[in-house]
Structure 1
Amino acid sequence: MNRRDFTRAFAGLASFTAFAGTAAAEDPRNLRSDAPVGKAKPAAAAVDHSAHQGHAAEASAPAGRYAALATVYADCAARATECITHCQSVLATGDKSLGDCLKTALACQTTCTAVAQLARLNSDFAPALARDTVPVMQACLDTCRPHIEHHAICKACFDACESAIKAAQSI
């Protein structure tokens, strides 16, 4: 086990311990040894959610000034995520031909996720960040281009990056 693996394992254990400790502290039954096990918690007080009706539908499709930008960039992030998984699988076989593609797909996925989130929030920063991500997506396009004839996932990522670039340039 190297230092990085140890650090990850320790961080995971610390997170689990913190979560388990919080859950135990929130349950007053854990403070008494004679408390019955499996006793149901009292029902929470009823809260009027009538003002929120219809928000579930809004969560599935972005609304607002930058809804189209959010959709295009979320799709690009999703295609880049698929590309990342594909590249990792190919690299795991010893084939290093998609190494550069993996690097640019990681950058693309990160930036597209950020733009999509800002666009969903109707942030005034979304258009500027979208325009700033064009070089990242162009790098992804350039790296994917040699692979689009051989890998459908690379073609999907390529097409999504093209769409996102067009969306960024039109805003």
Structure 2
Amino acid sequence: MDRRDALFGTGLLALSALATIERVSAQETAPAETSHMHHGGHYQALADSAGVCVSKGQACVSHCIHLLGSGNQDMAACATSVSQMLSLCTAVQQLANQNSPHVPALARIALDACSDCASECSKHADQHEPCKACMESCRACAKECRAAMGT
């Protein structure tokens, strides 16, 4: 084991401990009426939709990278939009699962990223299945973002 592996392992251990402490703390300080939130919260549909978007987006960006590596530069804009969508939808999924009061504000930004991503993926959807699946999941997530924003 070299020093880099040891530092990486220590970092993972620290993150795991922090997550456990935060989860226990949240359970101890949660009001009684939220004790059933594990059954699905106010933003459950958004969390689920964002999760699908992340999964489909990861497959799409991997596909784009493969094509870029083969010299297909047409996929650069798609890879960029998917990458940006992934960052935001991951955050949306996490906050929606926590029923965070920040969800509506983040959903407004994620809506733009999902719309941009769906637009880019639509250019390749008839040729590449990962792009089509990503486009469809982004459209569904955009719909849930609008619902979370109350529009």
TM-score band w.r.t. shorter chain? 0.7 to 0.9
- The amino acid of 1:153's aligned partner reads P
Higher relative contact order (CA closer than 8 Å, sequence separation 6+): 2
Task: Say yes or no: does 1:81 pair with 2:25.
Answer: no
Q: Which residue of 2 aligns with 1:16?
A: 5
Q: Aligned-pair RMSD on alpha carbons?
A: 2.2
Q: Name which of 109, 112, 130 aligns with 1:135.
A: 112
Q: Deviations over 1:70-120 (max 9, x none)?
A: 000111111111111000011111111101100000000110000000011
Distance 1:161 1:167 in 2: 10
Residue in structure 2 matched with residue 111 of structure 1 by the alignment: 88
User: Which has the larger helix fraction?
Assistant: 2
Structure 2: stretches of 5+ with no match in the other structure: 12-35
8 Å Cα contact 1:148-1:155 kept in structure 2 = yes
Q: Aligned runs of 1:87-166 on 2, under 5 Å?
A: 87-166=64-143
% identical aligned pairs:
30
Q: Give the CA deviation at 1:15.
A: 3.5
In structure 1, distance between residues paired with 2:10 and 2:107: 41
Unmatched tracts of structure 1, length 5 or more = 1-12, 23-57
- What is the CA–CA distance in structure 2 between the aligned matches of 1:65 and 1:80, rounded to whole Å? 24
Q: Structure 1-normalised TM-score?
A: 0.65
TM-score by length of 2: 0.73
Q: Give the superposition deviation at 1:14.
A: 4.2
Measure the CA separation in 1 of the matches of 2:135 and 2:42.
26
C-alpha distance in structure 1 between counterparts of 2:74 and 2:133, whole Å: 18
Mark the structure with the bigger radius of gyration: 1
Aligned residues: 122
